[in-house]
Amino acid sequence: MRTEARAEVGLTPGADSRLPTNRYWVYALLVVAGVAWDLGSKEWVFRALGCPGQSAWEWHVPDVVRFRLHTNFNRGALWGLGQGWAPLFATLSTVAVAVILYVLFIRKHAHSLWLTVALGFVTAGALGNLYDRLGLHGWRDNDGPVHAVRDFLYFRFFETFDWAIFNFADSFLVTGAIMLVLHSMKHEHAASAKLDPLPAPSTSSPRA
């Protein structure tokens, strides 16, 4: 009961409490499946279409949304931010994964299934893009390995707005981030509700 009460307000269980075995499996399966899907989809699209700038398989709803596969190298982060900073982002990704493992399995936050899934998505996304930033995908230019993320999912809305080209690793990162925000909002509300004092009972006596 105490552990459940602490979990409700997002507090860390005691260091001596054991994590459910399925938390390790849930996290590992999410990470392995996510990384495999991300790297497999990148490999398939770039093998099929070739060098960046190639497009194929367009689908659209007239005047609303247009989607196609479009190969692109991103030397920055999400939405193309920080172009040319691949080494920095690779370092940050490595640190982030280490922190996630510590938080989940040393600090025991994996007691929360929601947090386990959310951070599993974040880890899968971070590792998928880290693989590319390290140049392990095999693409090269005149300077050697290309230290850039392979993107290929392109959306255009209302024939005027081009969404930044992205990949499934980016989707996993955003999904995990949204889940973390929702988790934080939920437990802030729960903690606030628990700390708010109940209104004092009325002491006025009924009138005759």
Does residue 147 form part of some domain?
yes
Question: Is the predicted pLDDT of residue 46 greater than 60, yes or no?
Answer: yes
For the segment 158-166, the average pLDDT, to the nearest whole number, is: 91
Environment class of residue 117 by beta-carbon count within 10 Å: exposed (0-12), middle (13-18) or buried (19+)? middle
- Split at pLDDT 50, 70, 90, the class of 152 is very high
Does residue 33 form part of some domain?
yes
Q: Can you give the pLDDT at residue 78?
A: 67
Q: Which of 167, 189, 170 is nearest to 178 (CA)?
A: 170
Per DSSP, the three-state class of 11 is coil
Structural domain including 48 reads: 21-189
**How far are the Cα atoms of 69, 83, 158, 193 from residue 65, in angstroms, in the given order?**
14, 27, 6, 42
Exactly one of 132, 151, 162, 196 is catalytic; which is it? 151
By residue count, the chain amounts to: 208
Exactly one of 38, 132, 141, 170 is catalytic; which is it? 170
- Split at pLDDT 50, 70, 90, the class of 165 is very high
For the segment 25-47, the average pLDDT, to the nearest whole number, is: 98
The structural domain count of the chain equals 1
The rounded distance, in Å, linking the Cα atoms of 43 and 23 is 30
Does residue 93 form part of some domain?
yes
Does residue 139 form part of some domain?
yes
Q: What is the CA radius of gyration of the chain?
A: 23
DSSP letter at 206?
Answer: P
Does residue 16 form part of some domain?
no
Does residue 110 form part of some domain?
yes
For the segment 74-103, the average pLDDT, to the nearest whole number, is: 86
Q: What would the two tokens of residue 100 be? A: 């996630």
Per the prediction, the chain carries an average pLDDT of 86
Q: Can you give the pLDDT at residue 36?
A: 99
- Split at pLDDT 50, 70, 90, the class of 189 is low
Q: Which of 201, 180, 170, 162 is nearest to 38 (CA)?
A: 170
Does residue 6 form part of some domain?
no
In the residue annotation, 151 being an active-site residue is answered as yes
8 Å CB contact between 152 and 56: no
Q: Can you give the pLDDT at residue 133?
A: 94
Does residue 9 form part of some domain?
no
- Split at pLDDT 50, 70, 90, the class of 191 is low
In the residue annotation, 132 being an active-site residue is answered as no
For the entire predicted model, the pTM comes to 0.81
Please provide the DSSP assignment of 33-88 as one string: HHHHHHHHHHHHHHHHH-STT-EEEEEEETTTEEEEEEEEEESSSGGG-STT-HHH
